[in-house]
């Protein structure tokens, strides 16, 4: 009746605080996401679109996307997420592996949370890819999923706020709900569009730390950043876009402020 | 700009003349009639029998509007989900939208007449007439709300791998719930007035009473009944405002919270 798809790296029990291993940040080989010659154009010159973008993201790797305003960062993410149709090229998630629902997790800049529902209900949306029609009809979720959702909320520090309506939470709290939702989904690839932009740098760092804990478990991640420091700290590679095309790609640690300034203006 | 105003004024004057507003004789006669009938428009005192009739009529009108609105919403809301283009695609949504437009174009009065032929006089055709019109009315308002939902929410939930059904059930409907209640309240207010009109074709309620006294040329009681209807509409308006303020998220607070 209901199949819980098994993610290759899914844990059996609810995890407690995990010691963060001090090893190389990238896991070798297996790509999580391969984008080839990706293009999307808005009709008649409305906004930039993207042109012939190539990108490969390995499992466990974090790629930052940066660029001046209008360079197509959000569009690229939306096309990768499947939220915008492509006008050219292809996107392959975990090439060679079987397709399943919910392989790609997407967090838009405004988070896309249902404001009138509680934090727990929003996190549970992440399990919809594993929930059958009958349960959905009655608004029910598998008790295992509910337990996992509660554990995730606890892990992001919102254990006491699970029943609060999302509209009543602060910006930082809502971002943590959005992260928890995505991690309940257990995607192979996470795409997040600069969702820390309206947090101060300390809070943004905290949220990204939480995210890093999860991504070390094997998710490929593409994040849009506006802040070079955050990008250097949390990404393995930085992709610079300009006018919808890939201008340059650098190893995150080699990017200096001068370089960034030049590439972002 | 001034040219447009002149043209408009010319059109107004022409239409007034064409429709007979400048007919001196008629205007004079209207003046005479007003003076002659003025004493008839004094409301009648509320004796016991009259009061009972009025209360019964009010109750019937409220019941007709209440039932008609709820039944109409029960049918109209699901249809609106089908009519929302982002939820069901261009083909299905267009078909349903056409249906809703048809149902809405026929005024509840005409629907009621149709049902009177089937069911005879009384409140049943009234309720059915209101129901059908409300299906179109609430349906349109609701699908417009659904189409105007924050695309971010729909995109984010779609990206979690949810099926279209799950998207509607868990994201679209909760997001539009506020709007749905608002539309239903609005339809109820509208239907109170509609049900009084339906009374003129025998469908019961205050309208029937109005028609009754008009037929008897009992203008005193007619005026009283009209005043009672007016009071009812004002009371419903106030109740509706109260409910909205108390239970519905107003647009400003919803935006402020994000």
Write out pLDDT tens, residues A137-160.
888 888 999 999 999 898 888 889
Q: Which CATH class is domain A29-103+188-265?
A: alpha beta
Do residues B19 and B100 share a domain? no
Do residues B4 and B80 share a domain? no
Q: Are A209 and A216 in contact (CB under 8 A)?
A: no
Domain map (residue ranges) of chain A: 29-103+188-265, 115-186
Do residues B192 and B99 share a domain? yes
Q: Please report the residues numbered 141 through 180 in chain A whose beta carbons come closer than 8 angstroms to any beta carbon of chain B.
A: 167-168, 178
Q: Which residues of B touch A81 (CB under 8 A)?
A: 155, 159
Do residues B211 and B117 share a domain? yes
Q: Please, which pLDDT band fits residue A195 given cuts at 50, 70 and 90?
A: low
Do residues B50 and B20 share a domain? no
Do residues B70 and B122 share a domain? yes
* 8 Å CB contact of A129 and B162: yes
User: Whole-angstrom Cα distance, residue A167 to residue B258?
Assistant: 7
Do residues B165 and B54 share a domain? yes
CA–chain centroid gap for B33, Å, is 33
Q: What is the dihedral of CA A153, A158, A160, A163, to 10 degrees?
A: -70
Q: Which DSSP category does B42 fall into? A: S
Do residues B113 and B225 share a domain? yes
How near does any CA of chain A get to the CA of B160, in Å? Answer: 5
The tally of domains found in chain B comes to 2
CATH of the domain at B93: 1.10.3720.10
Surface-to-core class of residue B186, CB atoms within 10 Å of its CB (0-12 exposed, 13-18 middle, 19+ buried): middle
Do residues B97 and B31 share a domain? no
User: Whole-angstrom Cα distance, residue B99 to residue B109?
Assistant: 18
State the pTM of this model: 0.71
B119 by DSSP, 3-state: which? helix
Integer CA distances (angstroms), A188 to A3, A133, B26, B139, in order? 18, 23, 82, 40
Determine how many CB atoms are found less than 10 A away from the CB of residue A105: 28
| A125 closest CB neighbour out of B160, B165, B258 | B160
pLDDT values of chain B reduced to their tens digit, one per residue, 258 residues: 789 999 999 999 999 999 988 888 988 999 998 888 888 888 888 888 888 989 999 998 999 999 999 999 999 999 999 998 877 888 888 999 999 999 888 888 888 888 889 988 878 888 998 999 999 999 999 999 988 888 889 889 988 888 888 888 898 888 888 889 899 999 999 999 888 888 877 777 888 888 888 889 888 888 898 998 899 989 999 998 998 888 776 654 443 333
Do residues B18 and B95 share a domain? no
| B178 closest CB neighbour out of A116, A126, A178 | A116
* 8 Å CB contact of A139 and B170: yes
Do residues B95 and B21 share a domain? no
User: Whole-angstrom Cα distance, residue A172 to residue A116?
Assistant: 17
Integer CA distances (angstroms), B196 to A172, B126, B199, in order? 53, 9, 5
Task: State which residues form the domain around B100.
Answer: 46-256
- Interface probe with B: pick from A75, A114, A130, A140, most Cβ of B within 10 Å: A114
A39 by DSSP, 3-state: which? strand
Q: Which of B201, B207, B205 has the alpha carbon at shortest distance from B109? A: B201
Do residues B102 and B205 share a domain? yes
| B171 in contact with chain A, both atoms CB, cutoff 8 A | yes
Q: Which of A176, A141, A183 has the alpha carbon at shortest distance from A162? A: A176
């Amino acid at each position: 009746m209901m199949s819980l798809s098994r993610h290759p790296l899914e844990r059996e029990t609810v995890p407690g605080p995990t010691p963060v291993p001090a090893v190389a940040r990238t896991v070798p080989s297996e790509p999580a996401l391969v984008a080839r010659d990706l293009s999307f154009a808005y009709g008649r010159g409305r906004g930039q679109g993207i042109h012939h973008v190539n990108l490969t993201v390995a499992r466990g790797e974090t790629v930052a996307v940066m660029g001046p305003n209008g360079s197509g960062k959000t569009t690229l993410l939306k096309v990768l997420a499947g939220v915008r149709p492509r006008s050219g090229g292809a996107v392959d998630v975990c090439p060679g592996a079987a397709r399943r629902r919910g392989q790609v997790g997407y967090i838009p800049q405004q988070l896309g949370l249902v404001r009138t529902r509680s934090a727990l209900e929003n996190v549970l949306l992440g399990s919809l890819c594993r929930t059958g029609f009958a349960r959905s009809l009655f608004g029910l979720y598998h008790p295992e999923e509910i337990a996992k959702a509660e554990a995730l909320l606890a892990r992001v520090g919102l254990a006491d706020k699970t029943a609060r309506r999302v509209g009543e939470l602060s910006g930082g709290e809502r971002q943590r709900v959005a992260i928890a939702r995505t991690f309940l989904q257990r995607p192979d690839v996470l795409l997040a569009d600069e969702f820390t932009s309206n947090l101060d740098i300390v809070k943004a760092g905290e949220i990204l730390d939480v995210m890093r804990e999860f991504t070390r478990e094997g998710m490929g991640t593409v994040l849009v950043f506006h802040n070079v420091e955050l990008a250097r700290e949390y990404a393995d590679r930085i992709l610079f876009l300009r006018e919808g095309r890939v201008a340059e790609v650098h190893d995150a640690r080699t990017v200096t402020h001068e370089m960034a300034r030049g590439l972002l203006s | 700009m001034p040219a447009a105003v002149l043209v408009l004024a010319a059109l107004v004057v022409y239409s007034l003349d064409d429709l007979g507003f400048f007919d001196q004789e008629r205007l004079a006669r209207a003046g005479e009639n007003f003076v002659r009938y003025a004493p008839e428009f004094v409301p009648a005192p509320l004796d016991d029998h009259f009061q009972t009739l009025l209360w019964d009529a009010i109750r019937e009108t409220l019941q007709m509007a209440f039932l008609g609105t709820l039944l109409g919403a029960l049918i109209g809301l699901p249809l609106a989900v089908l009519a929302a283009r982002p939820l069901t695609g261009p083909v299905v949504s267009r078909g349903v939208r056409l249906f809703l437009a048809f149902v809405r174009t026929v005024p509840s009065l005409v629907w009621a007449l149709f049902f009177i032929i089937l069911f005879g006089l009384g409140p049943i055709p009234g309720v059915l007439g209101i129901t059908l019109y409300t299906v179109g009315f609430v349906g349109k308002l609701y699908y417009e709300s659904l189409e105007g939902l924050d695309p971010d929410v729909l995109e984010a939930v779609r990206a979690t791998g949810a099926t279209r059904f799950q998207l509607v059930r868990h994201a679209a409907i909760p997001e539009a719930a506020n709007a749905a209640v608002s539309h239903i309240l609005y339809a109820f207010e509208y239907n109170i007035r509609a049900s009084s009109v339906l009374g003129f074709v025998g469908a019961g309620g205050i309208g029937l009473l109005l028609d009754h006294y008009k037929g008897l040329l009992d203008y005193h009681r007619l005026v009283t009944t009209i005043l009672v209807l007016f009071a009812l509409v004002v009371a419903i308006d106030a109740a509706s405002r109260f409910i909205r303020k108390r239970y519905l998220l107003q647009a400003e607070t919803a935006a402020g919270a994000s």
